[in-house]
Amino acid sequence: MSFIRRHIVLATIAATLGLAGLSAHAADPAKKDLVFGATAGYNYDVLKRGIVPQLEKEGYKVKLVEFNDYVQPNMALAQGSLDANLFQHIAYLNRFKTDQKLDLIDLVQSTTAPMGIYSESRKSLTELKDGDRVTLPNDPSNLARALQLLVQQKLITVKPDVDPLRVSERDVLDNPKNIKFQPIEAAQLPRTLGDAAFAIVPGNFATSAGLKFTSALALETPPVQYQQVVAVRKGDEAKPWAKDLAAAFKSPFFKQVLDKDFPGYTRPAGL
């Protein structure tokens, strides 16, 4: 085989190793049927495009369940109707499982769409007017995240001694433009763009509503505590099917899917 032909063959093999290489071992014989939950939008698509094909190649049968809120996916997981879910960052998971006394654990990091500030009536945050109404998520963790984004944009300040993961409206110290905050359910935020001056929308609900990151007036760079994770019930993380699920998020095939379908998203460590 010539030098050039040999390298072409090697390149082809390398490009397909991500998926084909996973067929070397079979599905967990104790559990071949898996049910995963995800919120509508990119989290659902990440599982559908980047994870399910790998697990099916190994012999699993995977069912995806779509959710439109931030409460039911964890309750369904804790109650056993889901084997894993993908919709939340580690800060939210830790707070939710503590508040609800649930035995849940993060399994592996996924890709993350940044939260952004959007508007249909304004072209820049410099057009913020006194008393403008701003809609933002009403769940505590993402509310804190949205307020921190406003801090980063120098539109408000918050108490210096407050936990950044638990910031709420009562912690706002300086609000020079008298912004009127309206917390609502995250899934409904894109619908408020018609009458609110600005809407602060989590990435998954922005993409599911057809909003492009390039149209955002500001985007966050999510720290580790705001990056999406896969959650499972405590004790399941050591099971073969869970290890296969975690491995799928670290594979060359998953990286290829991110490169093709999710440019601009925050990557898991190592990808």
What was the pLDDT predicted at 40?
86
Count CB atoms within 10 A of the CB of residue 59. 14
What was the pLDDT predicted at 19?
52
What was the pLDDT predicted at 41?
85
What was the pLDDT predicted at 93?
95
What was the pLDDT predicted at 12?
39
What was the pLDDT predicted at 10?
39
Q: Split the chain (271 residues) into runs of 10 and give each run's mean pLDDT.
A: 40 44 67 95 94 98 95 98 96 93 98 94 97 96 92 96 89 97 96 96 88 91 86 98 98 96 85 88
